[in-house]
Amino acid sequence: MNPEGIRTNMSFENPTSEPNKEAIPQSKIEVESDYEGFVPEEFKQDPLGYFESQGKNIKSGEIKRDETGRVREDPTAVKELPIWTDAGGAELHSIGKRVNIEKGKVGASGDPFYEYRVMELVSEAGLPTPRPVAKVEQSGTHLIVMEKVQGIGWYDKDAMHLKEKGYTDEDIESLKQQAEERMVALQAKFEEAGIQRGWKLKDMIFDIDIENKTIRSVTPVDWERTKIDQEKFEAYNRNKINS
């Protein structure tokens, strides 16, 4: 945040390509000011190309469509980006997401950056969420970039090889119970703030203390189906300021 504590962002438009180079589609990029020093020039020049060529899929599987042919799930739409560094050597670990403009409240609102705006609101309310980094429009495609949350998705827990680390089936079941209890407690906080969303383990990132077999924290992700009760949200923020 800037010294006044106000969220601002920086906008970029890539320049016209030189005549002897392959044309890169025009793009519009808005970067949050906190992250401006991290975004590499290669991303600014061709964000979508960078996302596709440099990003690494987080989930495996195939694209799933509903009965109308619309994309429901697309494992190629969410990618971990290379580590970005600023001039001082600080690192930014980030996730890029190609927006499905027909999905959830994104489609209903007509706002391709609906999920991005929800993350801004949740962050400003002091509730856990990936912090938004940048939003992009290029050739009719929309892309959002957010800071990577420490931890793993529950669908990926097997990648931690818990049994090789001495976990029993009972330990893993206990971990799941902790995760669900943490998630329920978090749901109550969000509903108090007028933020309504689905609560499933698969839509959370869990920071796990492997040695002590406990869940440190839970962070919700995937905000495209979230609804905001504006009156409750504003009351929550007023109470937070006055408390």
State residue 7's pLDDT score: 54
Q: Would you place residue 58 in the very low, low, confident or very high pLDDT band (cuts 50, 70, 90)? A: confident
Choose between 109 and 5: higher pLDDT. Answer: 109
Summarised one tens digit per residue, pLDDT across range 168-195 is 989 989 999 999 999 999 999 999 999 9
Q: Is the pLDDT of residue 15 over 90?
A: no
Q: Is the pLDDT of residue 1 over 80?
A: no
Question: Which residue is listed with tokens 């589609």?
Answer: 25
Beta-bridge partner residues of 152: 206
What is the percent of the chain with per-residue pLDDT over 90, rounded to a whole number?
66
User: Which H or E element spans position 184?
Assistant: helix 169-192
In Å, how far are 144, 168, 193, 209, 239 from 152, measured between CA atoms? 20, 19, 26, 12, 33
Summarised one tens digit per residue, pLDDT across range 76-105 is 899 999 999 999 999 999 999 999 998 889
Summarised one tens digit per residue, pLDDT across range 228-240 is 999 999 999 999 8
For 106-124, what is the mean pLDDT?
95
State residue 226's pLDDT score: 96
For 10, residues 6+ apart whose C-beta sits below 8 A from its C-beta are: 30, 31, 32, 33, 36
Summarised one tens digit per residue, pLDDT across range 133-166 is 999 999 999 999 999 999 888 766 665 678 888 8
Summarised one tens digit per residue, pLDDT across range 198-212 is 999 989 999 999 999
Instruction: State residue 117 phi and psi, 5-degree precision.
Output: -65, -35
